[in-house]
A = this chain, B = another copy of it.
Amino acid sequence: MRIGELSRRTGVSVPTIKFYVREGLLPAGRLTSPNQATYEETHVRRLRLIRALIDVGGLSVAAVREVIAAVDDPGRPVHDLLGEAAVRMVPRYGGEPAEDGRLSEARERVTELVRERDWRVFPGNPAAEALAVALAALGSVGHERFGEVLGAYADAAEQVARADLAYVAHHVAREELVESVAVGTVLGDALFAALRRLAQIDASDRVFGGKGEVFGGDGEGEEGK
C-alpha cells in the first residue's frame, strides 16, 4: 500500500510516519520508484504498536526505540527475552531521593521482601531498585508506614503476573513474544492504574461516603471548583 493508505488505516499522519522512519522506529517502505515507497501489513502492525506505547503507555520516542530494538532481536531463549523485556520496561527515575539513609533502608526492605516471597530475581534488578526508590520517596513525604501495605501490593502483583504469564503461554506465538510482553507490560500498567482508581473510588464511597452519593465523572465535581 502507499503511505496515504497506511496513514488512513492507522490514523497516523503522513509527516508522523516519515518522522518514525527517520527515528528508526518504523522500517522504511520498499521503493517502487525514486519518489514512491510501498508498505506492508507489518508496517500497519508496527505503527499501531508505536502509537499504543506512546499514547496509552506514555513512553517517549527514545523508550519506544529501545522496546522496538528488543522486539526485533531474534533468537534468544524465551525466559531471557521475557526477562529483558520486563527489565527494559522499568520506569526510569530522573531524580535523587533526598536522603541516602532512607534509600539504603528501602533497599534492605526490598531484599527482605524478595527473600520472603522466594522471588527468583537478583536484588540488583532494575525493578527492585525502582521499588526501593518508590518506597524511599514515600518515606520522604511522611509515609514511612506505607510499607505496611507492601504485602497486599505484592500479593496483587503476583496475581497479575500469573495472569500475564498465563495469557502469554496460551495466546502468544514465539515470534510475537517480546512484542507481547512489551505491549502487555506498558498497557497492563495503564490498565491496572485505571482499575485501581475505579476500585479506590468504590472503596472510598463504601468507607467514607454514606450519603448515598456516588462520586463520578458526571461533571459535578468539576463544576464545584
Say yes or no: A206 contacts B87, CB within 8 Å: no
Across the interface, A87 reaches (CB within 8 A) one of B10, B73, B221, namely B221
Contact of A160 among B76, B126, B153, B164 (CB under 8 A): B153
Inter-chain CA distance A210–B79, complex, in Å, is 9
Measuring CB to CB, which residues of chain A are less than 8 angstroms from any residue of chain B?
9-11, 45, 48-49, 51-52, 54-56, 58, 73, 76-80, 82-84, 86-87, 89-91, 93-99, 114, 117, 119-122, 124-131, 133-135, 137-138, 140-143, 145-146, 148-150, 152-167, 169, 171, 176, 179-180, 183-185, 187-211, 213-218, 221, 224-225
Partner of A84, one of B82, B142, B214, B221: B221
Given contacts A146-B167, A158-B199, 13 further A-B contacts (CB under 8 A): A11-B97, A48-B98, A55-B137, A121-B215, A125-B201, A127-B198, A131-B198, A134-B190, A153-B188, A155-B159, A156-B159, A161-B203, A185-B197
Asked whether A163 lies within 8 Å of B169 as measured between CB atoms, the reply is no
In the complex, what residue of chain B is closest to A58 when comparing beta carbons? B91
Q: Which residues of B contact A130 (CB under 8 A)?
A: 190, 193-194, 197
Check if A55 sits within 8 Å of B160, measured CB to CB: no
In angstroms, how far is the closest chain B Cβ from the Cβ of A128? 6
Are A199 and B93 also in contact (CB < 8 A) when A129-B217, A134-B194, A204-B83 are? no
Q: Give chain B residues whose Cβ lies under 8 Å from the Cβ of A166.
A: 149
Q: How many copies does the complex hold?
A: 2
- Contact present for A125 and B78 (CB under 8 Å): no
The minimal Cβ–Cβ distance linking A146 to chain B, given in whole angstroms, is 6
Asked if residues A195 and B164 are in contact (CB atoms below 8 Å), the reply is no
A212 to B79, CA, bound (A): 11
Q: Which residues of B contact A134 (CB under 8 A)?
A: 56, 187, 190-191, 194
